Amino acid sequence: MNNDNNEIYFSKDIKELVGTEYGDIEKHSKFMKLALNEAKKALDEGEVPVGCVIVHNDIVIAAGSNKTNIKKNATRHAEIEALDSIYLSENASKFGGDKLLSDCKLYVTVEPCIMCAAVLQLAKINIVYFGCYNDKFGGNGSILPVHSIDCFERGHPYNCVSGVMKDQAIHLLQKFYFQENKKAPVPNKRKRIDPDQMINNQDNSSIDQPIDK
């Protein structure tokens, strides 16, 4: 699906596209499940659970999960990991790089951030399917519509479809943010003070003693 320069690049929920090739929920869910498996790997490694797969002619040719903590590099998002597995492969010349990616679909559990959306443009990815929105850093419409901005010299705008297994993607994020972070310092717990007790003990409370002038 390569678009003409004057065509508007869309960002739509998959439910809006049912009945079209973009709205085949069963087909796209099959690949999103694989992306979710990658996200679960990230969760098990203590990373924010985001995963993706790159598909060419209905065959997965690359997969990636978030590795920003493991590699101590804030740019090592799932999409970058997947792309690098192609570009840095011993068979990179066989893959054909941009030429191949222009016929590829990316399935990612969370909307690509602004950085990744720009990278996907430069990689000339064909279309992106994602699960839930990225309300803080989304580059496919939540914050900036980087996917549709035709301003990169070597870029290629692309369409994106949201909402593919979004509940499962959100569930993984919730598991990460609600779990105990064993590396975090032990917080100093503030003692809860009963207001009635404060009044009864006013004379003995240093914070309520009048200040001598």
Please tell us whether the domain made up of 11-202 is placed in CATH 3.40.140.10. yes
Q: What is the pLDDT of residue 10?
A: 77
> Nearest-5° angle of CA 205, CA 211, CA 213?
165
- Write out the H or E segment, with its range, that includes residue 131: strand 127-132
Contact indicator for 196, 163 with CB cutoff of 8 Å: no
| CA dist., res. 158 & res. 9, Å (int) | 6
The residue ranking higher by pLDDT, 178 or 128, is 128
By DSSP bridging, strand 127-132 and strand 159-162 are: parallel
| pTM confidence score | 0.79
Asked if the model's pLDDT at residue 200 lies above 70, the reply is no
pLDDT number for residue 183: 53
User: Which of 37-51, 84-98, 162-176, 199-213 shows the lowest per-residue confidence on average (mean pLDDT)?
Assistant: 199-213
Which tens digits make up the pLDDT trace of 57-106? 999 999 999 999 999 999 999 999 999 999 887 656 666 656 788 899 99
Query: Residues with catalytic annotation?
Result: 79
Strands across the sheet containing 59-65? 11-13, 159-162, 127-132, 104-110, 51-56, 59-65
- Write the CA distances from 15 to 12, 21, 25, 92, 142, integer angstroms: 8, 12, 8, 36, 18
The backbone torsions φ and ψ at residue 157, rounded to the nearest 5 degrees and listed phi first, read -55, 155
Query: Is residue 212 scored above 60 in pLDDT?
Result: no
Every domain of the chain and the residues it spans: 11-202
